[in-house]
A and B are shown apart, each in its own frame.
Chain A
Amino acid sequence: MQIRRLNPFNLLASPYGLSWQNHVVFFALAILALGFFDIDRLGGNFASWFVVFLVGYAVTVGVIELGKNFTKSIESTNQRSVALVLVLLAAGVMRGLAVFEVGFITGLIPEGELAYRLISAPLFVVTAYLLGNALVTSFLSFRAEARRLAAELAKLSQSRASYESDLQLVNQQQRNRVKDLLSAPMWELQKKLETADEPGKLQDALLTMQSINNDVVRPLSHELSATVSETRQGVGLPSNGLGKQIKWPSRVNLSEVQPGWLYLGILLVLGFNSQIAISSLTIGMQIVSLGAVPVIAMFWLEKKIYRKQSLPVVRALIISTVFGLAGSMIGSNLVITAGLARTDLFAFQTISLVLVVKSANLVYGIFMAGWQQSLDELVDVTAQQKIVNSRLRQQLWLGQKALAMELHGSVQATLQALAMKLARMQDVNLAEISQVLAQVRKALSRIENQEYLAGQEFKSLLAELQDLWEGTAEISWNIFDSASTTLENDLGLARCVFEVIRESVTNAVKHGAASQITIDIQLGKSSLSLSISNNGSIFDPQQRALGSELMDQLCLTRELQQQGKLVVLQAELALSPEAFQESLV
């Protein structure tokens, strides 16, 4: 896995950049520097130094918090990062001054150290905050992404779990309820028609039929449509309390997760900074150059050896520490042997510095790997979620369409027509009344109807479209065998595909003046790919019309683009739950 890292410099301007957690990390690093460096170098008791430290810390944090407010209005990430580095430098200068003043007054810092303090403090603040911010921000970004992933996973699982029941609700329970509510008035109508042996009774039956249409069928269809909407609202909502757990990467590659430039850069800056203060510019450079060689060599060796290995995180941490320990021990011994070390604690200081920076560098790498892994998984989960939701949208649209066609289409139209027929009947005609009764029963039986293509084949619908547009646009199609089988087995999907084609053809002719339209349909891994190309002109795909909403409802993805002389609509339609679940295994 190639890890895409967030740049530590740009991380300064990220939403988590220089947050309060950074000050905690800086506190730890600053107290380490005090313990390992200043006390050893200048002497004095810890309590007095701690007072100096607290003043320096308070000034640093205060200046950074103040400076941050001034950078908030800068929109460009790069410009804001530069501004924040300047804030850190200013905080460092103020820190150097404050530490010097308090240290001088208390007799801990000699007068001649002012220049050193004014140079080293800003360097220390910038490097420490860059490293600390990289750690904190990568951790917070990783945690946020991991929580989002957990929430999306829960949403996906909930959508899958409720998928069948939602459809059941739309397709069956509501139909049953319609039947239950219609059965009593229909029984009454049937009785009245059977006993309609005189015009008065026939008129009574007619009124009953009209009342069924107005008082039962129409209100029911209103209610059903509303229920479809409520069902959809309930789909895919994340449950509360998700994402509390962070799933760490189980294995890491030492070569990939450890950015060398950050590790070595910080190590060298801090090394030079401290050694120049202890001795002089020349000797300081000699010490760092000599001591750094084994550290760099061991780091290179570590990356080389474990270049192709993915290790458990704990093991990786141990190995990384061992290599850091070996490099820093050899380096410090070389310096001591060469007689360059100015303090007895030199080996301890070197080893501590290397291990702190190396561990921080590795942890930063692990957070970045976790962040990347979460992002990758999130992409996958979001794609699956889109498929589930897209299919559900299709199915709800189909359910709504079917109900609409059956209730306020077929049933209402039939009852309306029969009522008109009864009204025109001059005399009571038992044969005709029986015929009316049979037609009423037949109309109601269509509430059970789930034939999305009304008994027609998908290809015959295409042929209808072809015939309709003949003379204006020539339509041809190519359906791959696997796609053809899918469309034969899944009539709901076939209906949705046809609607998309119908809408696209109308758009191509009406808005693009197309005269040749070619439709290609093939089966993908988890969706049906539809390509509709035409020789017309492209219209603004961003322009949203009512037809766009229908397309959005039915398609998983869709894109209209110019390809050479052709305008091509590429659309993906989600497959049935069975088909896409198989594809996910």
Chain B
Amino acid sequence: MSKTATKYARHILVVEDEHLLRDLLARTIESLGFQVTTAANAADAKRAVKTADPDAMLVDIELGPGPTGLDLAEVIARQRPDIGVVFLTNLPDPRFTGKDSKAVLKNQAYIRKSAINSGSELIEAIEAVLKDKVTKDYRHDLASNRPLAQLSQRQLSTLKLVAEGKTNQQIATLRGTSVRAVEAMLTRIFQALGLDPSSSNPRVEAVAMYHNLRAN
């Protein structure tokens, strides 16, 4: 945990396990007039909340082998709801970490790293959270053009099972439904993804789409 002080500035906690990116983010935010504290994992961030009393936190979702950024946000929402939370991540939305879309609360921002071109964009997101005016511009997880946005949570989790190599029978067993119901859902998924269900192998194409997005 490290701290850089700027007098009377608002205080931002940056939680990122990659030290290079963490330092870069800290310097960028600091250069725009904020006071910054950094933490490499969720437990350090929790301690920093006690000692530094930040106004908002910028949190990566994947924080190494320990608790995740979503876990941290859950705790903060319960214990310090006054602290704003901005997720900064590579993931299109929380469903890719095995959480449902409700894991990100209404007053939290969700920004994809690849969509950020300058420090000021980050600051705008932080300001929106601090003013409790989070609009769709700061919720990349809800953007209609986000990858696989057209799929429901249940459809996405079914696609995930397909991508894991499970057969329709296995998916039906896991879901407690029939193979026919799984086949019907897959047909709807293929249609939603713009794939022709009667083409040679829409299953492979859908899985490839899923993996491409998962890796982005």
Q: Which residues of A contact B (CB under 8 A)?
A: 218, 221-222, 224-226, 229-233, 404-405, 407-410, 412-414, 416-418, 420-421, 439, 452-454, 456, 461, 463-465, 467-472, 495, 498, 502-503, 506, 509-510, 542, 544-547, 549-550, 552-553
B64 touches A454 (CB 8 A): yes
Min distance, Cβ A552 to any Cβ of chain B, angstroms: 7
Report yes or no: A418 in contact with B62, Cβ–Cβ below 8 A.
no
CA distance A475 to B43 in the complex (A): 14
Contact A417 B24 (CB under 8 A): yes
Q: Are A418 and B164 in contact (CB under 8 A)?
A: no
A544–B175 contact, CB under 8 A? yes
Indicate if the CB atoms of B78 and A413 lie closer than 8 Å: no
B71 at the interface (CB under 8 A from A): yes
| Given contact pairs A222-B216, A503-B98, a sample of 12 additional A-B residue pairs in the complex whose CB atoms are under 8 Å apart | A218-B215, A232-B165, A405-B64, A409-B62, A410-B18, A413-B113, A417-B18, A420-B24, A421-B24, A452-B65, A463-B43, A464-B41
CA A546 to CA B99, docked complex, whole Å: 6
- What chain B residues lie within 8 Å of A469 (beta carbons)? 75
Contacts of A410 in B (CB 8 A): 18
| Per-residue A-contact encoding for B69-89, CB less than 8 Å = 1, 0 else | 001101100110000000000
Q: Which of A439, A461, A547 is the one whose CB lies under 8 Å from B66? A: A461
Shortest Cβ distance from A545 into chain B, in angstroms? Answer: 6
In the complex the two chains form, is A546's CB within 8 Å of B153's CB? yes
**Chain B residues packing against A (C-beta within 8 Å):** 18, 20-21, 23-24, 41-43, 46-47, 62, 64-68, 71-72, 74-75, 78-79, 90, 95, 98-100, 113, 153, 157, 160-161, 163-165, 174-176, 207-208, 211-212, 214-216
Partner of A464, one of B21, B42, B153, B216: B42
How distant is the Cα of A503 from the Cα of B157 in the complex, in angstroms? 17
For B163, list chain A residues within 8 Å (CB): 229
Q: Is the CB of A229 within 8 A of B211?
A: yes
Report yes or no: A413 in contact with B65, Cβ–Cβ below 8 A.
Answer: no
Q: What is the chain A residue whose CB lies nearest that of B90?
A: A408
Residues of chain A within 8 A of B160, CB atoms compared: 546, 549
Contact B79 A472 (CB under 8 A): yes
> Within the complex, which residue of A218, A502, A545 is in contact with B67, where a contact is CB–CB below 8 Å?
A502
Determine if A418 and B215 form an interchain contact, defined as CB atoms under 8 angstroms apart: no
A439: which B residues are within 8 A, CB to CB?
A: 20
Cβ-defined contact, B90 with A553, below 8 A: no
Asked if A495 and B65 sit within 8 Å, CB to CB, the answer is yes
Give the tally of cross-chain contacts (CB within 8 A).
125
By secondary structure, the B interface counts as helix
Min C-beta distance of B73 to chain A, whole Å = 11
C-alpha spacing A29/B153, complex, angstroms: 63
The answer for the CA separation of A241 and B47 in the assembled complex, in Å, is 62
The 5 closest A-B pairs by CB, nearest first: A464-B43, A233-B165, A232-B165, A417-B20, A221-B215
Known: A468-B43, A553-B164. A418 touches B90 (CB 8 A): no
Q: Indicate if the CB atoms of A506 and B74 lie closer than 8 Å.
A: yes
Contacts of A453 in B (CB 8 A): 65
Contacts of A226 in B (CB 8 A): 207-208, 211
24 pairs of residues in contact across A and B, judged by CB atoms under 8 Å: A222-B215, A222-B216, A224-B215, A225-B211, A229-B164, A230-B165, A232-B165, A408-B215, A412-B90, A420-B24, A454-B64, A465-B66, A467-B43, A467-B46, A467-B47, A468-B67, A469-B75, A498-B66, A502-B67, A506-B74, A510-B74, A546-B100, A549-B157, A549-B161
Residues of chain A contacted by B165 (CB below 8 angstroms): 229-233
Question: B18 — which chain A residues lie within 8 A by C-beta?
Answer: 409-410, 413-414, 417
CB distance from A471 to the nearest CB of B (A): 5
Task: Decide if B99 touches A471 in the complex (CB within 8 Å).
Answer: no
Min distance, Cβ B114 to any Cβ of chain A, angstroms: 9
B53 to chain A, nearest CB (A): 15
Closest approach, in angstroms, between the C-beta of A573 and any C-beta of chain B?
16
A549 touching B174 in the complex, CB below 8 Å, given contacts A414-B21, A464-B41: yes
Please name all residues of chain B whose beta carbon is closer than 8 Å to the beta carbon of A409 when the two chains form the complex: 18, 62, 90
Could you tell me the distance in whole angstroms from the C-beta of B148 to the nearest C-beta in chain A?
14
Please determine whether A542 and B95 come into contact, CB atoms closer than 8 angstroms: no
In the complex, A545→B95 CA distance in Å?
Answer: 10
Are A546 and B41 also in contact (CB < 8 A) when A467-B47, A472-B79 are? no
Complex-state Cα separation, A469 to B64, whole angstroms:
18
Taking CB atoms, residues of chain A closer than 8 Å to B211 are: 222, 225-226, 229
A544 to B23, CA, bound (A): 39
Assembly CA distance A232 to B170 (angstroms): 13
Interchain CB contact under 8 A, B65 and A454? yes
Output the nearest chain B residue to A452 by Cβ-Cβ distance: B65
How far apart are the CA atoms of A410 and B22 in the complex, in Å? Answer: 12
- A468 in contact with B62 (CB, 8 Å): no
- Which chain A residue lies CB-closest to B175? A544
Distance between Cα atoms of A178 and B57 in the complex (Å):
35
Decide: A546 and B207 in contact? CB cutoff 8 A. Answer: no
CB contacts (< 8 Å) of A550 on chain B: these are 98
Contacts of A225 in B (CB 8 A): 211, 214-215
> In this complex, what residue of A is CB-closest to B67?
A468
Closest beta carbon of chain B to A466's beta carbon, Å: 8
Cα distance A439–B153 in the bound complex, in angstroms = 39
C-alpha gap A46/B69 in the complex (Å):
91
